Amino acid sequence: NAGVTQTPKFRILKIGQSMTLQCTQDMNHNYMYWYRQDPGMGLKLIYYSVGAGITDKGEVPNGYNVSRSTTEDFPLRLELAAPSQTSVYFCASNSLQLARRGYTFGSGTRLTVV
């Protein structure tokens, strides 16, 4: 059982470039999330999804887009990368039925925009 898998682990982008951060979970969780973590700060919610075909904005959605075509995958798209998007990105999942067990997080993607 792999849990939540994120790729890539590291990436350097130039200003204005685009990229997609991949997130896959194999636990059949209906809820999925994208968070970013800046140094010395707590994680902030970017986007979340309550099921395939349903997404919604979190606290810091500007500059990002998501899609949820399947239960397993929840990619995060960065368009026109900016230095302010330099951060560590975490994908997480949870289940309505298993909410008492808490959240499962991926190992993160460290992104630098130069």
Partner 1 sequence: KQEVTQIPAALSVPEGENLVLNCSFTDSAIYNLQWFRQDPGKGLTSLLLIQSSQREQTSGRLNASLDKSSGRSTLYIAASQPGDSATYLCAGGSNDYKLSFGAGTTVTVRA
| 24 touching partner 1, by CB under 8 A | no
Report the run of H or E that residue 15 belongs to, with start and end. Answer: none
Nearby residues of 39 by Cβ (< 8 Å), 6 or more positions away: none
Degrees (nearest 5) of the Cα angle 74, 49, 69? Answer: 45
Residues 13, 24, 25, 33: which binds partner 1 (CB under 8 A)?
A: 33
Chain centre distance of CA 114: 21
Among 34, 46, 48, 87, which residue interacts with partner 1 (rule: CB under 8 A)?
48
Does the footprint of partner 1 cover residue 47 (CB under 8 A)? no
Q: How far is the CB of 89 from partner 1 (least distance, A)?
A: 11
User: Which tokens go with 86?
Assistant: 């330099």
Which 53-112 residues touch partner 1, going by CB under 8 A?
58, 90, 92, 94, 96, 99-108, 110
**Measured between alpha carbons, how far is 93 from 2 in angstroms, rounded to an integer?**
13
Is 45 a binding residue for partner 1 by CB under 8 A? The answer is yes
Q: Considering the complex, what minimum distance in angstroms separates the CB of residue 56 from partner 1? A: 9
